[in-house]
Copies of this chain bind each other. A is one copy, B any other.
Amino acid sequence: MTQQNHDVPDTETYDAAASSLAGQVDNSVMAELLSIRSSIDNIDATLVYLLAERFKATQKVGFLKAAHRLPAGDPGRESAQIARLRRLAEDAHLDPAFAEKFLNFIIGEVIRHHEAIAEDHQAAAEWK
């Protein structure tokens, strides 16, 4: 990059060929690596947008729970979700243990959001 150019969107600064391996591997190997990484980059963008959509949905759940003073977690729901995702993972040839770890990672974040929403709701109710 030369100097800062405000006309160029931020995403254009991404170097899809960034690698600590540059210059250490054959050009043909690097070309194959970059081709696979380009698919991974597309999948990652999809994952980010999908996760954003998932948090929009769980935010609605959070508001609903806060409005009706329901607990942030729901162990009955969570164990049904985990069992289902493990089965789906098997179908997709994904390690079911990883799918479970992944869901627990997401649920942990969701519960933190729910608790924050409940606190805000509580604070707003007390202020009224």
Contact = CB atoms under 8 A, between A and B. Distances in A.
| Copies of this chain in the oligomer | 2
B54 A50 contact: no
B20 A74 contact: yes
Given A14-B80, A80-B14, A80-B15, A88 B51 contact: no
B18 A48 contact: no
Q: What does DSSP make chain A's interface, helix, strand, loop or mixed?
A: helix
Chain B CB within 10 Å, residue with most, of A13, A46, A77: A77
Contact of A76 (B20, B79, B102): B20
A68 B20 contact: no
Given A29-B68, A98-B109, A103-B44, A11 B54 contact: no
Nearest to A105: B105
A1 interface: no
Contacts of A50: 43, 46-47, 50
Interface of A: 10-11, 13-16, 18-22, 24-26, 29, 32-33, 36-37, 39-41, 43-58, 60-61, 64, 68, 70-71, 74-77, 79-81, 83-85, 87-89, 92-95, 98-99, 102-103, 105, 109
Rank and list the top 7 A-B pairs by shortest CB-CB distance, nearest first. A18-B80, A52-B92, A20-B76, A52-B94, A14-B84, A48-B88, A43-B54
